[in-house]
Amino acid sequence: MNLVTRRKLLKRATSLCLGVAGISALGGCGQRVIEIERVVEREITKVVREVVRETVIVEGTPQVVVIKGTPRVIEKTVEVEKVVTAPPAPRPRVTVIADVMDCGWTQFALLMSPAFEELFPNIKMHWRSLSGWHEYPQKIATLHASGQLGDLLEAPPGVLPARWAERGIIQPIDRIIAADGFDTSGIFKGIMDAYRYQDRQTALPFIGHAGQNLLLYDKRLFDQAGVAYPSADWTLDDLREAGLALTADWDGDGKTDQFGYAIRYGLPGAYPMLHLFGGALFSPDGRRCSVADRSGIASLQWAYDQIQRHRLAPSPAQVERGPLEMLRTGRLTMLRHAFRSFVRLAPIAAEERELGAALLPRHPTTGKMGTLASGMAYCITQRSECASDVFQWTKFMSGREMGVQMFLGGYAEPGCRPASWKDPRILELYPICEQIADAADAAEAERLPWNLRVGECLDVWNSHMTALCLGETTPRRWATKVAEDMERVLALAKT
C-alpha cells in the first residue's frame, strides 16, 4: 500500500469536495451540505491455523464537510484489528491404495490420477487392478482376511456393499461427508439411496443411471411399416400396438420372421419392468417374497401375453443368437436394454440400418416409469488410516466434468450427476441422455433380502422363467411357486 502524508491527504480531500460541489451546481441542486468520507481498507490476512491478534491505531481518512462552498476538514483516527497468521503446517504425504476391478472406468482413473495429485500434492494414488467382476468379491475377501486390503474399493449397488458393511470391511461415510461439508444434492438421489444400508451411507457413486430402461428400435423397419417412432408419451399400450404392426411373416410359411418386441425377464435385468407395475421382489423389511402380490403378477401377465396371446415377441425357442443380435440383423424391431448397449450397437448396426432410442414406455394407468437405480461407487475400507484423503478422490471422480470426460473417452456412462448427463457435449451426441437423467433421478433401488442371499433368490426366479415364457404355466401359478421357493431361501441364516 502506498504511504500518503497527512498534507497530501487533506489536499486531495479538498479537491474532491470542490469537484463534487461543481457537479452539483451543474445539476441545478442549489446550496446544500455534502459529506464525503473515504475509508482506507487494510488487507487482513486470512486465518488458516494459529491466529495472534493485536490492536493497533491507524490514521483514518479525514472527513470533509462542505458548508456553503467552504470545505472544512475534520480529522479522526479509527481503531482496527490487525490479524497475524502463522503459516499452515505442511500436510503429511499419504498413499491411497485402490483395490479395484479391471474395467474401463479404472483405465480412466489411471489417466486422471496425475491431475488429482497435482490438486492434492500430499496424496499419491496407487492402483491395484485385481480382476473382472466375477472374481472380484472373492479376491477382496481374501485380501481382507490376510490383512492386506487397501483403502479404496468399488462396488455396484446391492448386496456387495451391504455385505461389506456388515462384515466390517468398509466404513460408513456419513460423518466424513458431514465433516467435509460435501454437498451430495447434485448427485442422482436414487443412486445415492441405493448405497444406503441400515440407514448408513456405504459409498459415494461416480457412475449412475436408471438400469435397462431404454427402448431400442430399428428405424428402417418402422419406416417400412409406416409406423411412428416411439416417443416420450408412449405407454405399454402403444408399445403393444406398434409391436403387432411390426411383426411379420416374410415368406408366408406360417412362421414369424420379424418380431415387434422381445421379452427379457431374467433378473436383475427385469427389475425395471417389475418396478413399472409397482412391484418388488421383496417386502420392505426383506423377509418376504412379494412376487405373488397383485402388482408382481400383473408384470408377469403382461410379459406372458406378448408371447402367448399377441405373439409379437419370440418365445425362448425362437430366439436366435440373442435379442441384441436379432435387433442388429433386422429380425427384431424393438428391445428393452441399457444405454451402454445402444452406444455400443449403434455404430455396428449403422452399416445397414439406423437405431433409435426412447425411454421405456410408461404404465398406461399409473404413468409409472420402469427404472432401477444402478451404477458404480467407491467405498472406503475400515482399515484405512487416511479416510479423509481417500474421500478427496471419491469427490474428485464424482464431479460433473469427470463424468463428461469418462463418457467422451469411451470408458463408462456419463458419471453420476444430472449435470453430466445433460451437458451440451453429451446431448449433441445422444439427446436421449436428458430423459435418461430425469428417469435416473427418480429411479428406485431394489430391496435386499434380510439375509443378503440375493444370488440364491435370483437363481430361483431365473430357473423358472423359461417355463413361463414357453406357456407351460400361468403367471399366477408361476408366481406362487417362485414365492414358495424364495421363502425357503429367506428362512436361511445370513450369508
Average pLDDT over residues 33-62: 37
CATH code (residue 138) = 3.40.190.10
- 0.85 cut: is pTM over it? no
Domain boundary among 67, 85, 103: 85
Across 35-44, 96-105, 394-403, least confident range: 35-44
SS3 334: strand
Where residue 106 falls among pLDDT bands split at 50, 70, 90? very high
More confident residue, 60 or 278: 278
pLDDT at 250: 83
Indicate whether 389 and 412 sit together in one domain.
yes
- For 73, the domain range is 6-85
Domains: count for the chain: 2
Q: What is the mean pLDDT of the chain?
A: 84
Where residue 88 falls among pLDDT bands split at 50, 70, 90? low
pLDDT in tens, 157-166: 999 999 999 9
Indicate whether 75 and 107 sit together in one domain.
no
pLDDT in tens, 11-21: 443 343 333 33
Would residue 397 count as lying in a domain? yes
Please list, in sequence order, all residues whose beta carbon lies within 8 angstroms of the beta carbon of residue 474, skipping any fewer than 6 positions away.
304
pLDDT at 466: 94
Would residue 256 count as lying in a domain? no
Q: Is the pLDDT of residue 413 over 80?
A: yes
pLDDT at 32: 37
Q: Is the pLDDT of residue 109 over 70?
A: yes
Would residue 73 count as lying in a domain? yes
Indicate whether 142 and 103 sit together in one domain.
yes
Asked if 281 contacts 158 with a C-beta cutoff of 8 angstroms, the reply is no
Can you give the C-alpha Rg of the chain in angstroms? 33
Domain boundary among 68, 85, 102: 85
CA distance linking residue 280 with residue 445, whole number of Å: 10
Indicate whether 100 and 66 sit together in one domain.
no
Indicate whether 162 and 179 sit together in one domain.
yes
Cell representation of residue 71 = 470545505
User: Residue 19 phi/psi, 5° resolution?
Assistant: -65, -45
pLDDT in tens, 447-486: 999 999 999 999 999 999 999 999 999 999 999 999 999 9
Indicate whether 141 and 52 sit together in one domain.
no
pLDDT at 444: 87
Indicate whether 64 and 99 sit together in one domain.
no
Indicate whether 99 and 207 sit together in one domain.
yes
Average pLDDT over residues 293-304: 97
Would residue 475 count as lying in a domain? no
Q: Is the pLDDT of residue 352 over 70?
A: no
Would residue 31 count as lying in a domain? yes
Indicate whether 30 and 105 sit together in one domain.
no
pLDDT at 350: 54
Q: Is the pLDDT of residue 54 over 90?
A: no
Indicate whether 119 and 169 sit together in one domain.
yes
Would residue 427 count as lying in a domain? yes
pLDDT at 70: 46
Any idea which residue has 440373442 for its cell?
Answer: 322
Indicate whether 73 and 141 sit together in one domain.
no
Would residue 293 count as lying in a domain? no
- Nearest partner of 369 among 231, 260, 274, judged by Cα: 274
Indicate whether 103 and 174 sit together in one domain.
yes
Domain boundary among 441, 463, 485: 441
Would residue 227 count as lying in a domain? no
Where residue 205 falls among pLDDT bands split at 50, 70, 90? very high
